[in-house]
Amino acid sequence: MSDVIGKSEKVTQNRIIDLFINELGFHYLGNWSERKGNSNIEEEFLTKYLNKNGYSKEKINVAINKLKTEANNYNRTLYQNNKEVYSLLRYGASVKIDVTKSNETIKYINWDDPQKNDFAIAEEVTLQGNNERRPDLVLYINGIAISVIELKNSRVSIGDGISQLISNQLPEFNEWFFTTTQILFAGSDAEGLKYGTIRTPEKYYLTWKEDEQENERFKLDKYILKICEKKRFIELLHDFILFDGGEKKLPRVHQYFGVKAAQEFMKRREGGIIWHTQGSGKSIVMVLLARWILENISKARVLIITDRQELDAQIKSVFESSGESIYQTSSGIDLMSKLALPTPRLFCSLVHKFGQRDVGNIDKFIEEIKSRPSIVVGELFVFVDECHRTQSGDLHDLMKAIMANAVFVGFTGTPLLKNDKNKTLDAFGKYIHTYKFSEAVADKVILDLLYEARDIDQRLSSVEKIDAWFDAKTRGLNSWQKDELKKQWSTMQRVLSSRSRMEKVVADIVFDFGVKPRLNNNRGNAILVAASIFEACKYYELFQKTVFKGNCAIVTSYNLDKRDTTKEETGANTETDRQVIYNTYFELLKNVQALPNLSKTETYEAKAKDKFKKEPANMKLLVVVDKLLTGFDAPSCTYIYIDKSMQNHGLFQAICRTNRLDGEDKVFGYIVDYKDLFKSVEKVISVYSSEIDHSTDKIDGADSDVLMNNRLNKAREKLDQALEMMFLILEPIPQPKGEWESIRYFCGNTEIATDLKDKESLRISLYKTVATFLRAYANVSDDLEAADYSQEDITRIKKQLNQAIDLRALIRRASGEELDLKAYEADMRHLLDSYIEASDPRKISPFDDVPLLELIVKSGIAEAFTQKFGNKQPKDDKSVAEVVENNIRSKIMKEHLHDPAFFERMSKLLDEVVKFRKENANKYEEYLLKVVNLAKRIQSGSASQMPSSLQTLGQKALYNNLGEQEELALTIDMTLKQVRPADWRGVQTRENVIKQALYEILKSEKEVERIFNIVFIHKEY
């Protein structure tokens, strides 16, 4: 074996030193192993630099003394000393020698012109202290130690280098030296380069990723060149270091490139969207970008807008903990007044503070605002958090009217699905930067997720008793009212909310906390998502009867209000659903002392959330409905139990509550699904891991305009049809078409039962037509003007809508077809709780130990089918079909490079199969057979009539892509297996051997490149 394998660390170290000197332009200071007095502030070199920049000797002495004083304050922690040193390095030292003259700022580093700094490298820098240590390499800028590099040979883990960096920072070793250091590196030829800063734990050291196709040298060399290039190195030090609430942070690579891309947009005063997946650090991107804008655009101001109070408070906290002063507006008036002043330059607000009370015609009001815009001082840059939720509606239009010249930047953790895309791209512009879920998992920024579906079987215990109870409790109601009550209480959600089933869910969760890792050792906790506030309250009550008492809290949007029970009393000595909610919260809050500026509910929730994050052993479970499912980061949260139907953005954000990193024992985030949501989970994971379709980024392009126009045209068409239907159904009412005439027309004589029965079809038509009118209006209400309705039309339509709603209510009351359901809630709840029994939860998903990305994004075809259904016959044919189709499509897209010709044919065949399913819905078995056969063919990589001489996937791929020339395919196969060098992939000279062999056969450079890409993929060559 060659002696270069397993070479010593010194060989690597010498090569890296040469790289810094010859490629990066650093000066070599020498081997300082025997040099005395090595320091993190080398006064000789710093004095030389400052003197070169024209500072007087006296001022230089004062500046150096200030720097040393901050670096060596033994009454502070390493973090505090490092923070103060960084402040001096970044902003300079204010020095005054002559009392008659003004202060002068001494700059230790030239941030504006990196080339004017003195970059240097020393090796084997011996550090004197309690225990002597010797870092491999130290990087200096103007004599100040900025970076330490620990190198390891390929036989040793890079983790050993990181451990050395960490131990060197301990007080018993050389903590003093690290008060000036900013970026710390550990590397080896085998594992590449990792970077962190002071007090960074080993698991949080980061890996850079850029130009992945470059493969000409060791990754260690490649990324030192990328990061330590002088201009970028200075930029990282100046623009991308944060001191965040006791923790010093460096940017992850996606944060760096996200901010860099946004900077270019801001220079052009162009808005756009930053999509960085849930848990990847959007808040840090906001802080870094806002700071850059305020420092580089002279009259810039930054307003950050959220749509929820907890997010508003979180944004304020993030900025303040990173040292940025931010003003939080208290009201709409406060916001408007601050916009008209030059300060504050950085402030945050809720989107709802743009709303105006007592505005009858919001569209007209917005037009008035546009004609006389509010005074906004400075150049305003507006960051809109979770922009997919705030991209449309009157408030957004009003916000843009008030700040007409502002640059809007939307931040989101989820991509824009088709329903959102038109509105959001129109509001913010195109994508600035994206970082997908699958990328974040691969980069170990967040955890992958494990999914488990659990089924709770339910059955009726006594049909006879149910019917008897219902008849007894509804005596006196007419048939319509009974039907209405049945409809309200025979829904799937009502059945799923039965006490028996909820008790089984509670017992299931309690059991998990006894046996599941992290839950059973108090390291992790969980969130339960309930379908409604009522169910959340019932769950909370049930958990109070278990070991969770005192360790469980409820967080919903409900605020205790006595008015909620004013109209709820039925006189039956029972509780309506609203009374249950009120009474639960009343008991919950009766001993809570409200904190300043907070209500009792807010105080209770704030304490619960804080304990959930910091003391998982003492706050095991939060029961929620909608709150905390976005923007709530709790690394301890390991499980989310979902007992609510969810989809798209809401579902993705909810399941991502569990994907935050939190120690070595948290390997995955866990989803337990009681509502059969796998298809929705599969959809959001697939979509949020897929590539962005940038073809729709350009809102000025034809595609967006056509889509918007089509949507508005269809919406107007439906509204016009609804208006016509309303006219036709109301036209026969005798003049003057008042209440009396309407009642007679739709009800006849309300005291005669046969009249009501004879007119029933008319009333049903009325109710359906009004419902259609309401839906059609809601679909276009935000865009009535864009749909070419005049102001007179809009006023008329709104008037007609209100009249239609009033008429429906009148006829329902007159005919006795309106029922106050709350009087029957307790009785119907008793019926469900008493006569619907539930079994213990049963795990029905066979892939609970397979990560979702592997299962959904990376799964094969035949395996995916058997994984999902095993030998059982699926209940829902359509769902099986779609699962298989989707998996086949993903397989085709993923494997296309292996054999482009074959998978092109498979794509066309799949489209035919899908078409066949749609046209032959009743021939499901035939369809399924076709799909399974197709899946097997895709997995084997062979067409149906492949020559028997072609045995391997590589041979088959060559045959498919060489015009099905069997002899040519076999000739290339044999030749490559004879000439291929060992480990040829990624080594240019060895790859050329393969290409030369191909050229001698194909005689075409273009063909060589095409076939080489296929050969490269197949590992048999």
Nearest to 536 by CA among 517, 558, 514: 558
Q: What's the total number of domains in the chain?
A: 6
Quick one: pLDDT at residue 688?
53
CATH of the domain at 549: 3.40.50.300
If asked whether residues 684 and 733 sit together in one domain, one would say no
3-state secondary structure of 726: helix
Categorize the per-residue pLDDT at 984 as very low, low, confident or very high, splitting at 50, 70 and 90: confident
If asked whether residues 509 and 632 sit together in one domain, one would say yes
Note the pLDDT tens digit of each residue in 100-159: 778 899 999 999 999 999 999 999 999 987 788 999 999 999 999 999 999 998 888 899
Of the listed ranges 293-302, 338-347, 416-425, the one predicted with least confidence: 416-425
Quick one: pLDDT at residue 916?
46
> What average pLDDT score do residues 689-710 get?
43
User: What's the CA angle centered on 28, arms 25 and 29, to 5 degrees?
Assistant: 140
If asked whether residues 431 and 453 sit together in one domain, one would say no
Q: Which among 60-69, 340-349, 591-600, 983-992 has the top mean pLDDT?
A: 60-69
> Which amino acid type is present at position 865?
F
If asked whether residues 431 and 455 sit together in one domain, one would say no
Q: What is the residue-averaged pLDDT of the chain?
A: 79
Q: Which of 167, 201, 235 is the last residue of a domain?
A: 235
Would strands 525-530 and 621-624 be described as parallel, antiparallel, or unpaired?
Answer: parallel
Inside any domain, residue 260: yes
If asked whether residues 336 and 260 sit together in one domain, one would say yes
Q: Which of 180, 202, 235 is the last residue of a domain?
A: 235
Percent of the chain with pLDDT strictly greater than 90 = 34
- Provide the phi-psi class of 631: left if phi over 0, else alpha when psi is between -120 and 50, else beta: left
Inside any domain, residue 481: no
Q: How far apart are CA 605 and CA 583, in angstroms?
A: 17
Q: How far apart are CA 973 and CA 896, in angstroms?
A: 20
> Which amino acid type is present at position 275?
W
Cis peptide before 171, with omega less than 30 degrees from 0? no
Residue-level length of the chain: 1021
If asked whether residues 202 and 269 sit together in one domain, one would say no
Quick one: pLDDT at residue 212?
87
Q: Could you tell me the two tokens for 6?
A: 């397993």
User: What's the CA angle centered on 507, arms 501 and 509, to 5 degrees?
Assistant: 105
Quick one: pLDDT at residue 834?
61
> What average pLDDT score do residues 183-211 get?
93
User: What's the CA angle centered on 940, arms 935 and 946, to 5 degrees?
Assistant: 110
- Asked whether residue 362 carries a pLDDT value surpassing 60, the answer given is no
Note the pLDDT tens digit of each residue in 462-505: 556 556 656 666 666 666 666 665 555 454 445 555 778 888 89
Inside any domain, residue 489: no
Q: Is 272 within 8 Å of 382 (Cβ atoms)?
A: no
Residues with Cβ within 8 Å of residue 812, at least 6 apart in sequence: 767, 818
If asked whether residues 272 and 410 sit together in one domain, one would say yes
- Asked whether residue 694 carries a pLDDT value surpassing 70, the answer given is no
Note the pLDDT tens digit of each residue in 920-974: 444 434 544 454 455 445 545 555 567 878 878 788 888 888 888 888 989 998 8
Quick one: pLDDT at residue 190?
87
Nearest to 401 by CA among 359, 342, 432: 359
> Which amino acid type is present at position 142?
N
> Which amino acid type is present at position 224?
I
If asked whether residues 764 and 810 sit together in one domain, one would say yes
Q: Is 348 within 8 Å of 315 (Cβ atoms)?
A: yes
CB atoms under 10 Å from CB of 887, counted, come to: 26
Quick one: pLDDT at residue 865?
41
Inside any domain, residue 3: no
**Domain range for 137:** 9-235
Note the pLDDT tens digit of each residue in 278-320: 788 888 999 999 999 999 999 999 998 886 666 667 677 777 7
Inside any domain, residue 479: no
Q: Could you tell me the two tokens for 286?
A: 């906001």
Quick one: pLDDT at residue 764?
82
CA of residue 240 relative to chain centroid, distance: 22
If asked whether residues 933 and 962 sit together in one domain, one would say no
Q: Which of 912, 940, 968 is the last residue of a domain?
A: 940
CA of residue 475 relative to chain centroid, distance: 52
Note the pLDDT tens digit of each residue in 839-895: 777 776 554 565 655 554 444 433 444 444 444 444 454 554 555 555 555 455 545
CB atoms under 10 Å from CB of 1005, counted, come to: 11
If asked whether residues 104 and 144 sit together in one domain, one would say yes
Inside any domain, residue 47: yes
Cβ burial, residue 954 (10 Å; 0-12/13-18/19+):
buried
Nearest to 1015 by CA among 966, 952, 964: 952
Quick one: pLDDT at residue 353?
55
Inside any domain, residue 659: yes
Note the pLDDT tens digit of each residue in 635-684: 999 999 998 887 766 777 788 888 888 888 888 888 888 876 665 565 55
If asked whether residues 403 and 537 sit together in one domain, one would say no
CA of residue 964 relative to chain centroid, distance: 46
Q: How far apart are CA 926 and CA 933, in angstroms?
A: 11
Quick one: pLDDT at residue 163?
93
If asked whether residues 730 and 787 sit together in one domain, one would say yes
Would strands 247-249 and 379-385 be described as parallel, antiparallel, or unpaired?
Answer: unpaired
| Residue ranges with strand state E in 504-628 | 525-530, 552-555, 621-624
Inside any domain, residue 680: yes
3-state secondary structure of 436: coil
Note the pLDDT tens digit of each residue in 146-170: 999 999 988 888 999 999 999 999 9
> Which amino acid type is present at position 400?
K
CA of residue 119 relative to chain centroid, distance: 40
- Asked whether residue 912 carries a pLDDT value surpassing 60, the answer given is no
- Asked whether residue 89 carries a pLDDT value surpassing 60, the answer given is yes
